[in-house]
Amino acid sequence: MPDEVIVTCALTGVLATREQCPWVPYTPAEIAEEARRAWEAGAAVVHIHARTNEGAATYEPSVYAAIRREIEARCPVILNFSTGGLGPMEGRVAHIRQVKPELGALNMGSMNYAKYSARRKEFVFDFVFENTFKDIAYLLTVMKEALVKPELECFDVGHTNSIWPLIDQGLLKRPLQFSFIMGVLGGIRATAENLAVQAREAPPDSTWEVVGISHEQWRMASAALALGGNVRVGLEDNFYLDAEGTQMARSNGELVDKAVRMARDVGREPATVAEARSLLSLEAPW
């Protein structure tokens, strides 16, 4: 099992609001301050969705460029920009083409994407998250031209197994980086057994992290640490420092701090930015 664990922090997402958690950042300066707090706590990578100053999701390259400037003025953390969401592919990847982060997150398949309230007996939201092979190939082509390494976001085992034709076409190059998102309704259930399946399906030279959604975050982080994988935490995925959802984190840094303590409890150390860059093969052309 590797001694180092790469801790990624997903700072803001697209669905989290200040009505739900007052400390969700919106502006480039606020996002950068959260990146600094996460880095100081032990994160080596930050995953970023841009927001307008009012909190709406945006893919505007100028906003991503402002976020990059603000973060780089504060800390040396590795930047991972999202391409997930709805809308035309060109709009979802223009910021990758222009701003060129080191990592670009890319959804590896289509799925039902929903949230259900058992208390209200109704769906909070319910839509189809469409990512065809044609769209995935387009995003990968742009990333390859921009020298941005894709992080493959897999919500189910079928997504993980979608890599092979893309490798054959030369759109993906090993070693790969996977992000296993677990606990979304419509995707794979968040269990340690399912995480082990996902890890086995990835090529053996890959790196991977787990993303446990909401109250599943800490249980899945524990499983990933035991299996030798990496972890992602942050206000995009979960607001709480406890599995019961009673203690809300007041910053992304608090969530990273807990993940780092958990890693050290099992004999692993958070990777530095330089170590993470090496583990993710970011220093070699791909």
| Residue 29, pLDDT above cutoff 80 | yes
Q: Which residues touch 134 (CB under 8 Å, ≥6 apart)?
A: none
Q: What is the mean pLDDT of residues 180-188?
A: 96
Q: What is the mean pLDDT of the chain?
A: 95
Alpha-carbon span 192 to 195, nearest angstrom? 5
Chain-centroid distance, C-alpha 272: 18
| Residue 143, pLDDT above cutoff 90 | yes
Percent of the chain with pLDDT over 90: 88
| Residue 129, pLDDT above cutoff 90 | no
SS3 of residue 231 by DSSP: strand
Q: What is the mean pLDDT of residues 173-196?
A: 97
SS3 of residue 151 by DSSP: strand
SS3 of residue 33 by DSSP: helix
How many C-beta atoms surround the C-beta of residue 157 within 10 A? 17
Q: What is the mean pLDDT of residues 204-214?
A: 96
| Residue 85, pLDDT above cutoff 80 | no
Q: Are strands 111-117 and 122-129 parallel, antiparallel or unpaired?
A: antiparallel
Alpha-carbon span 266 to 223, nearest angstrom? 11
Q: What is the mean pLDDT of residues 163-192?
A: 97
The two structure tokens encoding residue 124: 């909070």
Whether the CB-CB separation of 13 and 236 falls below 8 Å is answered with: yes
Q: What is the pLDDT of residue 125?
A: 87
pLDDT in tens, 216-267: 999 999 999 999 999 999 999 999 999 999 999 999 999 999 999 999 999 9
In the structure, what pLDDT confidence band is assigned to residue 2 with cuts at 50, 70 and 90?
low
Residue for token pair 């150390």: 269
Whether the CB-CB separation of 208 and 178 falls below 8 Å is answered with: yes
Q: What is the mean pLDDT of residues 65-79?
A: 98
Look at the pTM and tell me if it is higher than 0.85.
yes
Q: What is the mean pLDDT of residues 87-110?
A: 93
For 5, the enclosing helix (H) or strand (E) is: strand 4-5
Q: What is the mean pLDDT of residues 6-25?
A: 95
